[in-house]
Chain A
Amino acid sequence: MTPDVPTSAGLATYNFAYLDEQTKRMIRRAILKAIAIPGYQVPFASREMPMPYGWGTGGVQVTAAILGPKDVLKVIDQGADDTTNAVSIRAFFQKVANVAVTTKTREATIIQTRHRIPEEKLTAGQTLVYQVPIPEPLRFLEPRETETRKMHALEEYGLMHVKLYEDIAKNGHIATTYAYPVKVEGRYVMDPSPTPKFDNPKMHRSEALQLFGAGREKRIYAVPPYTEVVSLDFEDHPFEIQTFDKPCALCGAENVYLDEVVLDDKGGRMFVCSDTDHCEERCANGHRGHLAYNKEAAE
């Protein structure tokens, strides 16, 4: 006698947030350990996800493990809510967890991000989940994982400065502009994922919990709220963030990170906020840049 197999409803359903409960427990344990040792890369048994490596499998697993039915999810890719990666991951969690989603930074409880930190200051209770391609900041200087783990364990970080030295020797200034290495709570050197170094100061003593998931490399690390995050530098070449000559062409915002957009084949360009939510909200509040769409003029 075979038991009754539910035909239409049962078979094709997923567990809440796609991953099975045992996997979520395993990931949560890794996250707890990561939070307990800020900046330390905790190995975890990364699962196959229904997307290729490099598309955010690490971030998706972390999000799936911490997501609850009452959470409000926002997903950004390079600061934008409307790019392929962001739209797909948002749709994925709507489907497998039926959670509320938003594009508003303020309303989100969990923000999964690729390569940016939102312009708006994150607050206590929010969690920022980073998608990380290569978690090991020493990888390109020392390819042996056995050796880099030893270097972390013994706090041998001279090599990280060798990289910065090379930058200055070649370019006259520190030319690393993204994935800029940071030291967390005075102990572990950490790769902040390929965010522009413009965002590094936002990590310092952030009120939000920051979790980092690297799916292919099977590592999770974390920066708990109110943790010291210091960008590495030299005394005579201090850390500096990028600056932009012009404000955002659409909303006129200054001191934000801008993307370059090519307008035509005659060299026309404009610089706009990479954080689309921030830009839209400013436009809605009446801020105007020099290329902003002018409703009244159009009518």
Chain B
Amino acid sequence: MTDAPLLKVRDISKFYGARIGCKNVSFDLWPGEVLAVVGESGSGKTTLLNCLATRLMPSSGAVEYRMRDGEMRELSRMSEAERRFLMRTDWGFVHQNPADGLRMAVSAGANVGERLMAVGERHYGNIRETAGNWLGRVEISVDRIDDQPRAFSGGMRQRLQIARNLVTSPRLIFMDEPTGGLDVSVQARLLDLLRGLVQDLGLSAIIVTHDLAVARLLSHRMMVMKDGVVIEQGLTDRVLDDPREAYTQLLVSSILQV
């Protein structure tokens, strides 16, 4: 981790009319760091994530991102073309429901290759080879390259979505409940895979989850949200082993012990 943050978030607030989405959230994210945002549903996690990923316009506050040339840019001041370019090259967004992040009617290979073609790759053989490699890395058999994601199981779809996002070697990945809706053994494999990829590629990630086990496994640092406000943040192990706020204590003690 270098000394300059990758993402600087300052006092982000989002209001839906009089209702609070999230309020005055500030943090820094360093290269290679994985941050988990946890909280119960309705606590503003996803709103915060969407504000950071420019999928929503925050009502107030600023998000700065360090571009590849080292310059800090404020996202809301970038042109839409720049933002969209950033989203499909330097960033990734993994949706909870893979159908939102994949093109269900085109083959797995084209799903992975789309970002490459979007940045100007025009050699079919190369695109296909890269797509095949990535399918291998996310443990999808290469002979499924011409199948549509419709024919894939939930876990495979989620892994395909991850491959599709990582193919342009992004530096920052946003994940919204990446393991939601998957059964436990599939979850475990996906988490294993994600942990490996994050480590190998030196990715920074912001993961929104209500599952504290996911946060424990993947993240270095975590933020606990309640009613749109960050009530506690710190190193993941510290927060989970020694929660200070009453709500965090409740959250940690609510984990099912099997």
Residues of A within 8 A of B (CB): 141, 150, 154, 156-159, 161-162, 165-166, 168-170, 233-237
Contacts and interface: CB of A to CB of B under 8 A. Distances in A.
A165 B122 contact: no
Interface centre among B109, B110, B127 (most CB of A within 10 A): B110
A165 B109 contact: yes
A159 B124 contact: no
B238 to A, nearest CB: 43
B114 interface: yes
Given A154-B80, A154-B84, A165 B124 contact: yes
Nearest to A164: B124
Nearest to A237: B124
Given A234-B123, A235-B123, A165 B117 contact: yes
Interface in B89-123: 103, 106-107, 109-110, 113-115, 117-119, 122-123
Contact of B122 (A154, A159, A161, A169): A161
Contacts of B145: 169
B183 to A, nearest CB: 31
Given A154-B80, A170-B146, A162 B123 contact: no
A234 B122 contact: yes
Interface in B122-139: 122-125, 127-128
A292 to B, nearest CB: 43
A161 B117 contact: yes
Q: How large is the interface on B (under 10, 10 to 19, 20 to 34, 35 or more residues)?
A: 20 to 34
A171 B173 CA distance: 35
A150 B85 CA distance: 13
B168 to A, nearest CB: 11
B81 interface: yes
Contacts, number: 56
Given A166-B107, A234-B124, 14 more contacts: A154-B84, A156-B84, A158-B114, A158-B115, A158-B119, A159-B118, A162-B114, A165-B113, A165-B124, A165-B127, A169-B145, A170-B107, A233-B122, A236-B125
A237 B119 CA distance: 18
A251 to B, nearest CB: 38
Contacts of B84: 154, 156
Contacts of A168: 124
Contacts of B118: 156-159
A242 B110 CA distance: 25
Nearest to B119: A158
A235 B124 CA distance: 7
Given A165-B124, A235-B123, A236-B124, A154 B81 contact: yes
Contacts of A157: 118
Given A154-B81, A158-B118, A169 B109 contact: yes
A148 to B, nearest CB: 14
27 contacts: A156-B118, A157-B118, A158-B88, A158-B115, A158-B117, A158-B118, A158-B119, A159-B114, A159-B117, A159-B118, A162-B106, A165-B109, A165-B127, A165-B128, A166-B110, A168-B124, A169-B107, A169-B128, A169-B145, A169-B146, A170-B146, A233-B122, A234-B123, A234-B124, A235-B122, A235-B124, A236-B123
Most buried by B among A156, A165, A234: A165
A134 B255 CA distance: 55
A277 to B, nearest CB: 38
**Chain B CB within 10 Å — which of A154, A166, A169 has the most?**
A169
Interface string B75-87: 0000011001000
Contacts of B113: 162, 165
Interface in B116-174: 117-119, 122-125, 127-128, 145-146
